Structure formats: C-alpha cells, structure tokens
Structure 1
Amino acid sequence: MGAVLLAGGISVLATLGAQAASGTSALPPPDPTAKNLTPYMIQLRAFDACLVTQSRLMGTTREAVHTPCSCYAKGTVAAMTKDEIQAFRDTGYFNDSAREKGLGFIDRCKLKRPI
C-alpha cells in the first residue's frame, strides 16, 4: 500500500510540474487507484510526493523537508473543493484549479516549484 501511495504521490507532483509548464494537452492516463481515496489519503499522496520531489530539488534529505511538505499537503487538500477532490479521484492528479492552490502552498510553505 505504501508503494502505491508513493507512486501515486510522485505522479501528483510530477504531473503538477509538467502540466503547469505545458497546460492540459499532455495529461497522463487516469489512475484507477485514486477512485476511492479519502481527502486524507490524497493528502498522504501529496505529502509522499513532496518528500521525494523536494528532497531531490533541494539536494537534502526527506527529513529536512518533512515540515514544509506537511504544510504543503495539508494546506492544498484542505483548500480543495468537493469538485476538485472528485476530479482527483477521477484522474489521480490535481485539476487546474487544485494545481494553482498547490503552487500557492508550495510558495507559502517555502518549497521549490518543480517547474
């Protein structure tokens, strides 16, 4: 289960960066494992992806980015609307409006943008 969450989480941030740069034309296929995720489980995916991505971007350990990644994941998912949560369940990644919120929390939580 942890590997599934990590893999899905990585796709969240990877997709976030790729889509922010390219728009909606390069969307990956839907992730069927996201279908029944609770907001808390979506938060865990975002947190795991953040740890992997930010430790790499900042050249540091996952432990060093734990607090800012927690800030990012909690803030982003808490700010998502019911429609954004459902869109995540349908696809496995943030839609445009949730992505904008995520980028705002990346800035607010003092992380590096993955784009």
Structure 2
Amino acid sequence: MMMRRLGAVVLAGGFSMLLGASAYAASSSTALPPPDPTAKNLTPYMIQLRAFDACLITQSRLLNTTREAVHTPCSCYAKGTVNAMSKDEIQAFRDTGYFNDTAREKGLRFIDQCKLKRPI
C-alpha cells in the first residue's frame, strides 16, 4: 500500500506526501480529497518542477539510491509528461493538485520511456 502511495506522488506530480495521498485517492474508489489551493495558479513549468521533485524522492527510495543518481531520468519523466499534457489536463492539475487519469497514463509511459521503476 505504501508503494502505491509513493507511486502516486510521482504520477501526481505532487511535491509532498500529502499530494501523493491525494493522487492515490484519485486512483481508487474512495472519496477525493479537497483541491490543493497551492496548485491553482501553477504554470506548466512549475507543474514540471513538482513532478521532478516528487520523482527524485520516490525513485531514489524505490531504487535505493541517491537523488543525484535519478536526476537525469526524473528530468526526462517530468519534462516529457508535462509537455505531453493537454490544456485540459493542465487545468485539471490546477483544479485538483494531481494528475487526472489521462495525464497519469502519460506519466506511466514516460516512467517506462525514461527507464524508471513503476511505483504501482
């Protein structure tokens, strides 16, 4: 269960474990948490930074390595995922603070493409 929450952090692009729990809730049948008010005015670049930070934390734990060791693959993941997101997906992130289903699918594709470990 903890691995799923950690995975949700990466896919949600959340900066903290709170956002990871929010994304996990979004992928389950439980009620969704309240929107993250800090995400409301984020630019795509700022969303990318959140995804990058969350990736560094999660992947370094999953792979039992340093954050520096996953810097390049996490950069690949964050840039690729956010650049592939539509305007609607960006707005959905701003509204909730986590990736919606279609953005999450794109995130999984980039996790594989960038040779990272799937957290879920």
TM-score when normalising by structure 2: 0.80
C-alpha distance in 2 between matches for 1:13 and 1:105 = 18
Query: Shift of the alpha carbon at 1:15?
Result: 4.8
Name the structure 2 match of 1:79: 84
Asked if 1:110 corresponds to 2:110, the answer is: no
Query: Shift of the alpha carbon at 1:28?
Result: 2.8
C-alpha contact 1:13 1:114 (8 A) present in aligned 2: no
* Structure 1: runs of 5 or more not aligned: 1-6
C-alpha distance in 1 between matches for 2:111 and 2:21 = 14
Where do 1:28-39 residues align within 5 Å?
28-39=33-44
For the residue of structure 2 that corresponds to 1:9, the secondary structure is coil
Q: Which moved more, 1:26-35 or 1:57-66?
A: 26-35
More helix by share: 1
Percent identical: 80
Query: Shift of the alpha carbon at 1:19?
Result: 5.3
* Structure-2 change in CA distance of 1:42 and 1:109 (3 Å): same
User: Equivalent of 1:10, from 10, 13, 16?
Assistant: 16
Paired letter, 2:84? A
C-alpha contact 2:93 2:100 (8 A) present in aligned 1: yes
Paired letter, 1:55? S
* Structure 2: runs of 5 or more not aligned: 1-12
TM-score when normalising by structure 1: 0.83
* Structure-2 change in CA distance of 1:86 and 1:46 (3 Å): same
How many residue pairs are counted as aligned between the two chains?
A: 107
Where do 1:50-65 residues align within 5 Å?
50-65=55-70
C-alpha distance in 1 between matches for 2:82 and 2:94 = 13
